[in-house]
């Protein structure tokens, strides 16, 4: 039996000087080209972008629905299995003497706060309402939409979508990154999680590809969240009384958020967040200061 | 600073609905919902509905419907497979040639497309969410890893999966339950159902509160929302730069922060203007697919690593960087 210690080093080449100093040029430039291309395509050729993207989207929804359902089930299974199994459940994400940096309360509240707030403000109302109107049970004719008998069905689907599966997807990424970073000193970045499969090859193009895929997914996933947030922000401004210009009429007699409203909302949001990100320069990364605030809130000793 | 206010404000809003909302209805929805959800998991977790092709549909409908003209049949197929319709709407929208069909035949025709409607529903809801969570996972995952050093795997799973899921359930049951209750008991009179998804929380506040208080509460919600948007966007920019820097939190070059801030704004703005939220949704579902493969490999990879580390431990082979250092020190 040839048991060797696992790979403990995964060098990722970064530029030593120039515009990309400190960055992996291959990853950064590729990601910028992909995202930049998407923006130019969507802004310059909205019709062709819309048609092509929704064509691919329909294909994915029809052909990869099984994949998505099973892969999410797999994440839930892996996380619960590793937690329940005595041998793995007591493994530490770190070395034996490492102890958590944060009190349980501030740790839980940071977990929950990590990007899910927009979901709570929009979907905590909207989703049970939608499912209350229609869900698989009403489609099959088992319950009647918008009736008292449909409330439990509405909650089964709301909880399915925002329950274990959602958090298991986040947790599997966090678990593997923490495991390889804190036990094996690998860099805390996406490609490190695949070292047991691909080994040191991840220092090269394969690893770059993994990171690019993660960056593109992040941009689009966060855009989705921001998109819902912008719409709710505009709806709120309209309720507060900022005027009629926030909405424009559509051809079918409805209304939609106006272009001016989207631009103003995005200028406010992205202006504030870019300033906040820039102010992090020299003070350590923003999420770290957020973390300290999180622990300050719970009156616990912070790191 | 922002996080502190966020916790306070979001707790305030939840407490508001606990006190002034439909508390009993919400708590009932919470407990029954958790019970129903847990029971539904074994059945739901692997359920995939697929569309019924036109030929299968045509073979399964009553003979009287099969004999209708081909173009009418294709109209009927189109409307029977729409997940957002109802039997009533389907019946009302039938082509003229189908006017004389007996209700039983119409119902049987509609039933022949049930799987297609279920599949359409699942694509728009469940699969959309699964793609969204996957696309969001590198962002949240890096953050979770960052704050979880020193936790055991069991603690981590409890803290990162079970507790946040329960918190979501509380929000959905208390806040959403109030909305459903107001519609069921007639107080809202369709005001919440009729509002767009982005406006429903505000619509509900307008039903519960007198106008001035509803206005004040709406301002509080907008402020909270703004802080969430700003912290999500700036953390996203910093995590993107961390991944681009090979995991190093060090480089904080201004041009790159500005680039990704502008890129996020342009992706959101460009896609919403081009095709509404639907356009972001399509791009996101596409962008999530390759990362879902990476995540599946991550699952396999962590299982493999934990299994092999167990064997290493038994054989006395170093499995962590600390053990390697100890072994090296002992060898000297």
A43 touches chain B (CB under 8 A): yes
Domain end marker among B222, B252, B282: B252
Residue of A nearest to B115 (CA): A140
Q: Cα(first)–Cα(last) distance of chain B, in Å? A: 50
Distance CA B143, CA A218 (A): 13
| pLDDT tens, position by position, B78-100 | 999 999 888 888 999 899 888 88
Residue ranges covered by each domain of chain A: 25-234
Instruction: Give the pLDDT mean for B290-305.
Output: 98
Same domain, yes or no, for B66 and B176? Answer: no
The answer to whether residues B159 and B40 belong to one domain is yes
Kindly state whether residue B238 falls inside one of the protein's structural domains: yes
My answer on whether B9 and B132 are in the same domain is: yes
Q: In a 3-state reduction of DSSP, which class is residue B191?
A: coil
CA-to-CA distance for B253 and B265, rounded, in angstroms? Answer: 19
Shared domain for B69 and B103, answered yes or no, is yes
Which pLDDT score is estimated for B162? Answer: 93
pLDDT in tens, A197-238: 999 999 999 999 999 999 999 999 999 999 999 999 999 999
For residue B21, tell me if it sits in a domain. Answer: yes
Instruction: Please say which residue of B68, B97, B112 terminates a domain.
Output: B112
Assign A247 to helix, strand or coil: strand
Distance CA A40, CA B142 (A): 29
Closest CA to A171 of A245, A254, A76: A76
CA atoms within 13 A on the CB side of A277: 33
Q: Kindly give, in sequence order, each residue whose CB lies less than 8 Å from that of residue A201, ignoring residues fewer than 6 positions away.
A: A207
* Residue B88 domain flag: yes
Range of the domain at B77: 54-112
Which residues of B are less than 8 Å from A217 in CB distance?
Answer: 134-135, 137-138, 287-288, 290-291
The mean pLDDT value of chain B amounts to: 91
Q: What is the ipTM of this complex?
A: 0.94
Interface probe for B, chosen from A12, A24, A41, A53 (most Cβ of B below 10 Å), is A53
Q: Is residue A199 within 8 Å of A8, Cβ to Cβ?
A: no
Closest alpha carbon within chain B to A24: B245
Q: Tell me, yes or no, whether B144 and B213 share the same domain.
A: yes
What is the model's pLDDT at position A282?
38
Chain centroid to CA A103: 24
Inter-residue contact B144 to B160 (CB < 8 Å): yes
What pTM, to 2 d.p., does this model score? 0.93
Tokens standing for B169? 């359930």
Q: Which one, of B137, B159, B165, lies nearest residue B37 by Cα?
A: B165
Q: Which residue of B has its CA nearest to A109?
A: B7
pLDDT at B266: 95
The reply to whether residue A139 touches residue B114, judged by beta carbons under 8 angstroms, is yes
Region B183-211 average pLDDT: 93
Those residues whose C-beta lies under 8 Å from the C-beta of residue B246, and which sit 6 or more positions away, are A12, A13, A14, A23, A24, A27, A187, A189, A211
Asked if residue B61 and residue B31 are part of one domain, the reply reads no
Q: Are B279 and A172 in contact (CB < 8 Å)?
A: no
Residue A283 has pLDDT above 50, yes or no: no
Q: For chains A and B, count residue pairs whose Cβ atoms are closer than 8 Å.
A: 727
Same domain, B231 and B184: yes
User: In this predicted structure, what is the pLDDT of residue A280?
Assistant: 58
Structure tokens at A63: 């052909």
């Amino acid at each position: 039996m040839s048991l060797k210690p696992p790979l403990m080093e995964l060098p990722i080449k970064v530029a030593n000087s120039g515009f990309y100093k400190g960055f992996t040029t291959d990853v950064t430039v590729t990601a910028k080209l992909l995202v930049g291309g998407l923006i130019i395509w969507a802004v310059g050729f909205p019709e062709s972008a819309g048609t092509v993207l929704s064509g691919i989207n329909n294909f994915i929804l029809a052909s990869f629905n099984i994949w998505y359902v099973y892969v999410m089930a797999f994440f839930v299974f892996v996380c619960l299995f590793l937690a329940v199994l005595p041998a793995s459940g007591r493994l530490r994400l770190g070395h034996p003497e490492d102890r958590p940096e944060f009190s349980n309360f501030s740790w839980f509240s940071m977990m929950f706060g990590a990007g899910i707030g927009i979901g709570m403000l929009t979907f905590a109302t909207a989703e049970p309402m939608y499912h209350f109107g229609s869900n698989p049970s009403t489609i099959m004719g088992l319950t009647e939409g918008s009736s008292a008998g449909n409330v439990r069905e509405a909650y089964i689907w709301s909880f399915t979508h925002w329950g274990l599966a959602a958090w298991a997807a986040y947790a599997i990424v966090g678990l593997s990154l923490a495991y390889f970073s804190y036990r094996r000193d690998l860099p805390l970045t996406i490609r490190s999680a695949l070292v047991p499969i691909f080994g040191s090859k991840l220092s090269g193009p394969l690893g770059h590809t993994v990171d690019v895929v993660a960056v593109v997914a992040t941009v689009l996933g966060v855009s989705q969240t921001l998109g819902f947030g912008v719409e709710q922000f505009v709806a709120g401004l309209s309720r507060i009384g900022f005027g009629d210009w926030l909405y424009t009429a559509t051809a079918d007699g409805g209304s939609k958020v106006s272009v001016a409203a989207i631009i103003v909302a995005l200028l406010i949001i992205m202006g504030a967040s870019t300033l906040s990100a820039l102010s992090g320069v020299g003070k350590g990364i923003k999420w770290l200061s957020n973390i300290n605030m999180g622990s300050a809130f719970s009156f616990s000793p912070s790191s | 600073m922002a996080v502190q206010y966020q916790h306070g404000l979001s707790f305030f809003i939840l407490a508001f609905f606990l006190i002034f909302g439909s508390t009993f209805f919400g708590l009932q929805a919470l407990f029954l919902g958790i019970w129903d959800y847990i029971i539904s998991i074994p059945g739901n977790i692997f359920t995939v509905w697929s569309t019924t092709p036109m030929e299968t549909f045509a073979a399964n409908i009553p003979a009287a419907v099969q004999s209708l003209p081909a173009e009418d049949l294709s109209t009927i197929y189109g409307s029977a497979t729409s997940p957002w319709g109802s039997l009533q709407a389907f019946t009302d929208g039938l082509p003229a040639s189908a006017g004389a069909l007996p209700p039983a035949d119409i119902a049987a025709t509609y039933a022949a497309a049930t799987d297609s409607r279920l599949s359409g529903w699942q694509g728009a809801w469940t699969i959309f969410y699964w793609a969204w969570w996957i696309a969001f996972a590198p962002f949240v995952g890096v953050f979770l890893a960052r704050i979880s050093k020193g936790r055991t795997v069991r603690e981590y799973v409890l803290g990162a999966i079970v507790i946040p899921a329960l918190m979501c359930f509380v929000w959905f049951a208390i806040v959403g339950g109030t909305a459903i209750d107001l519609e069921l008991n007639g107080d809202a009179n369709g005001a919440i159902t009729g509002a767009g998804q982005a406006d429903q929380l505000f619509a509900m506040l307008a039903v519960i509160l007198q106008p001035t208080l509803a206005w004040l509460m709406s301002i509080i919600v907008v402020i909270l929302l703004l802080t969430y948007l700003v912290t999500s966007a700036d953390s996203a920019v910093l995590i993107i730069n961390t991944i681009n820097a090979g995991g190093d939190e060090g480089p904080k070059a201004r041009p790159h922060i500005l680039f990704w801030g502008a890129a996020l704004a342009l992706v959101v703005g460009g896609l919403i203007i081009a095709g509404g939220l639907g356009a972001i949704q399509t791009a996101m579902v596409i962008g999530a697919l390759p990362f879902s493969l990476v995540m599946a490999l991550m699952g396999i990879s962590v299982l493999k690593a934990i299994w092999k580390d167990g064997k290493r431990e038994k054989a006395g082979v170093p499995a962590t960087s600390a053990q390697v250092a100890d072994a090296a020190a002992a060898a000297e």
